[in-house]
Chain A
Amino acid sequence: MGIIKEGINGPFRGKAGSVVGSSWRKINYIKGLPSFKNKRNVSPEQLLEREKFALLNRFFDPVSSLLEIGFKQFTGRATGRNVAISHNYDHAFLVEGKTVTLNYPVLQFSHGSLFPAGDERAWVDGDRLRVSWDPETYGMGRSIDDTAVLIYYDEIRELFSADSKAMRYEGGAEIKNGRFTLRPLRSHVWLFFVNKATKKVSRTTYIPLIDESTHES
């Protein structure tokens, strides 16, 4: 039975007649009881939207803990994944006819005022993914002790790897995994920075993988 917590006009929890009251992240909800009366056929546009939503939701699921860091500034009344979907939804898809795929280079895992590094490069060297960036701070918007969050995604095997140990001043990071030796390799790498107090983050930079034979170390 529903309990009215703050007087007659206040929010309540539990079932009261045909509605259910609940609360999540300090937001009070009143929901109708589940009903299954809608027997209309779903329009193609609606199906497409559902597919897009499911695709993005599935993609972000394994990295939800990173999204909590990347979108921390906006997670007062939503989860990091909620905010990431909202932020990316408008530009995250490539639609060809009825086929929907993700536009990986434009995806953002973070949003904030910290400045990205620039000069980012990524290449696979044996069983290691190596990434380098410009370690300088240029006087503002960056600190040498910012943590670099590196995200790797194997599109064929649908697997993520991540690393958040390196600092900005180190100018590079690597992830070791036997998966990098497998071929074919269709990979995507993203990088963003978090300041020491974990309050500020940078925008995410997509780093295209370069051929290891062309990389000059």
Chain B
Amino acid sequence: MTIELMEKLKEAVIEGDEVAAYECAVKALADGMKPLEIVKASIQPAMDVVGEQFQNGEAFLPELILAGDAATKALEVILQEVDGSGESIGKGTVVIGVAFGDNHDIGKNLVLAVLSAYGFRVVDLGVNVSVKEFIAAAEREKADIVAISTLMTTSMPYQRELVKLLDAMGKRDQYFVVVGGGPVTPVWTKKIAADGYGRDAKDAANLCLKMVESGKKPPFDEPMFEGALDAASSI
């Protein structure tokens, strides 16, 4: 029964069915399953499947987003049961957005979907977000990570401005700063003293996981990099 239910929950997440995912999670808890057990047996494997399907051209951005939403719905009810120790399952909170001056949202949406599936609470600030808005949202949402992406070289300086303003406000030790986007490289990440860079959506999510599981506090002395880095990464 438990195996069947976990399969059903996994399928619901893969299919992006929020209602079914919610109902399965409620039932699993009522059956006495432990929250962490549910996540490991169904939600995480489901997102691995969707991630692989995306890479293979069998699933696309909408499927990733819908699966992420279904996983979030299931996690909401699971986390309620954890009663204070939610951080052992909920990985933390990420505020994410596209830097000021830039309206390209596809990359950000991909990262958002995968982060949700990994158990992060993700607050989407949208596109064209000012540095001040990033920081205000991080404070309001009690974020662990601030993720800022851009496709435009002339919006890249806002990534540096975010780090600088956090520093100036004496808040740099409260949030990891993760950067990404087409023209962003590890060299740039290091230059602006951000904490990490992920090449694609899955890399960014893995990076965030490693950050929160590192047991360290921001800022890192050396940034973390995740993903198959090409020759451009060292430039």
Query: Do chains A and B interact in one complex?
Result: no
